[in-house]
Structure 1
Amino acid sequence: MVNVFCSGRRGVREGGRGGFCGGLRGLVLASLLVSLGAQGTSLAPEHEVHRLMLATEEAVSNGNWGEAGGYLNRLQRLEGDKPVDYYYFRGRVMQESSHLNEAQSALENYIGRAGAEGNHYQDALKRITDIEKKRDERSRKEHNRSDEGEPVAVIEPAGEQAPSDLRSLYLVDSDRKALTLHLNSLLDLASWRADQRIVRLDAPADVSYRVASDDSRIEIQESARESDDRVSKSTQSLDVYGVSPQVQWDCQAAACWVYDPRDGSRLMKLSPDQNRAEEIASTLGRLIRTLQAPS
């Protein structure tokens, strides 16, 4: 059972005809039907990816945003690099459900990977502009309410979304699962490449990460591409008890780093995007805190 919680705070959850809550409920219920109705196939991973991408494209074309979100969530759970159009459709679905930060990040990642030759290049650019306009419009409305003496809620960054919103977004029943999926979604957008200027569609990232979690431990898998194109994988376990949830990060010219909360050593090497690195560190900290004090 998926419960959709809407706080009713003005300026944050409102939006469109019928309000944000109504739209989110419809999105979640439709996505739940997709999730329950399809428990996977026996296809090889590369064929399953292609099948889910075709299903996502059809759902988006028909305006079935819940179905599209369900297919994208299943794609996210598959290992390996995603097709470049995955990021475009993820941006479309996030924009439709008013998750503006995730939408912009996904669309920017699509443009970075596909370049001007991408099938959806111009539409992605227009959508980023639309997102900026919508964000500015929200800011103006909040400013006007503040001038009129009305209480104004603060729009939280993507990494600080309410746990109930993340559970609804990823169609899961626990904060741990939602934060783990959200962290992997952010990491998909932050893989490190030696040459950040050109992102070739046929060349996977040089360094990428996936996380998994249980009740007391976070598993962090690093995939590193060698000079001969072989991929080496290493996994380390982070026991959360006694660990500070204040995860540190910083950025240099060629990379951003997330630091190990146990000893301050380098834990993750990410693309040089400060906002994304900050959000990843914040989400990792939230996951640690959730495991330390489960509800």
Structure 2
Amino acid sequence: MTDIARTAAAGLDEAAGGGQAVLDRLVDLLDLEKVEEDFYRGVSPAHSPVRVFGGQVAGQALVAAGRTVPEDRRVHSLHAYFIRGGDPSVPILYEVDRIRDGRSFTTRRVTAIQHGKAIFALSASFQKDEQGLDHGEPMPDVPAPDTLPTFGERTAGFGLRFTERPRPIDVRYVGEPPWITRATGERPESNRVWMRADGTLPADQLLHVCVLTYASDMTLLDSILARHGVYWDVDKVLGASLDHALWFHRPFRADEWFLYDSTSPSASGARGLATGRFFAQNGTHIATVVQEGLLRVL
């Protein structure tokens, strides 16, 4: 393990709450160690749940893919499957397969490996900047993020275990969060949160995309649970991401506010589907996400 990796693994555990120190350690976690050509190694923070956080392995895999792509090509989509739960106590090996290098598009496939087995698989496509048709969905009319309570203020007194972990992403719920709507009997059809990296990020556009990828796995499945009045840490819910797809429409900065508007069109067979749209604070539609999750209510 490199010195950077050791610092990152320990630092996220030592830093409390959020802020620049916690964000810097997330950036360190995304700065993978090159082991060999097309092979990279990543680690998890010491303060981790039983499994590796899905947004972390997706972000690290995208970093591995991006390290093999020319800088003039931006990632525009990724498709991923979560195959096995990751072990946060050991490093993750990322193997990059250079599928295609075309004149306009570059395609990469990344396999994340632990204990000799694949735990995650990602395909990502990168494109040179081009001019073309341009439109996007309008952003919902919501209050500005600075007028909303902080995540700490929203969770105070509820005894939710996930709030104990350091948080590199500042999250502000637009409406009542799902652990409150569960108690009031409301069944909201959407889950809307403002998000931003809790500090300042370097200018590297790939890093901003990877941080948004990390954040995209934080609240998406909440839109499914809220429809049924159940929630993590309050009810007996077993959940895991099964697959994840993201499309990046326009450049953005992940350390500036973006609205994450998510809904769930369907749930059945112990699986739920959630979709989400990301908007910059000026209303620009910057990304779209779809995820299916395993959700067992015990």
TM-score (norm 2): 0.29
Higher strand share: 2
Higher helix share: 1
